[in-house]
Amino acid sequence: MVIVLMGVSGSGKSTVGGLLAEKTGGTFHDGDDFHPPKNVAKMASGVPLDDQDREVWLKSLAELITGTTGVNFIACSALKKKYRDVLAGAEFVFLSGSPELLAERLALRTDHYMPPGLLQSQLETLEAPEGAFTLDISQPPEALADEVMKRFDL
């Protein structure tokens, strides 16, 4: 089983994914690690990625999904429906929160290449998923992980 934790930057994808892997004995994959260097450089300079930039990245994640066994958790923004379509075969958990909470979290983050200024671009790009398990990120990460485990019988 592959579960993609999706949402904009600052929604807690990596935090919740890491907790889930720890609690279940599954494997966590941070989608950020699959970006080619040019994407990282583009985001670090404050320029949002476009569909073409994301193509290679999504293909790498799709290959991971089809080639993996066991329980796997992937942190991936998956902002548009067409991006999620590339990641077919995975279950999606949408980590959703207010723009204010997301901005607050990003302002506190110091160890990530994505600047807080790109949040608005991500919010504008986001196509909220239909049928995904949606969680409100105002809850503590532990509670979110527990909800995912309960929903997917992990």
Average pLDDT value for residue range 13-34:
96
Q: Which amino acid is at 77?
A: S
Segment 30-73, tens digit of pLDDT = 998 999 999 888 888 888 888 899 899 999 999 999 999 999 99
Q: Which structural domain range is residue 65 located in?
A: 2-151
Does position 115 have pLDDT exceeding 70, yes or no? Answer: no
Among candidate residues 67, 58, 75, the one with its CA nearest the CA of residue 5: 75
Does position 118 have pLDDT exceeding 80, yes or no? Answer: no
Among candidate residues 56, 60, 78, the one with its CA nearest the CA of residue 125: 78
Q: Supply the CATH number for residue 137's domain.
A: 3.40.50.300
More confident residue, 110 or 145: 145
Q: What is the DSSP string of 114-147?
A: S-GGGHHHHHHH--PPSSSEEEETTS-HHHHHHH
More confident residue, 140 or 125: 140
Across 53-118, where does the E strand assignment appear?
72-75, 91-96
In sequence order, the 6+-apart residues with CB closer than 8 A to the CB of 44 are: 113, 114, 115
Are the CB atoms for 107 and 116 separated by under 8 Å?
yes
Does position 111 have pLDDT exceeding 80, yes or no? Answer: no
**Residue 93: strand pairing partners:** 5, 133
**pTM for this prediction:** 0.88
Count of structural domains, the chain: 1
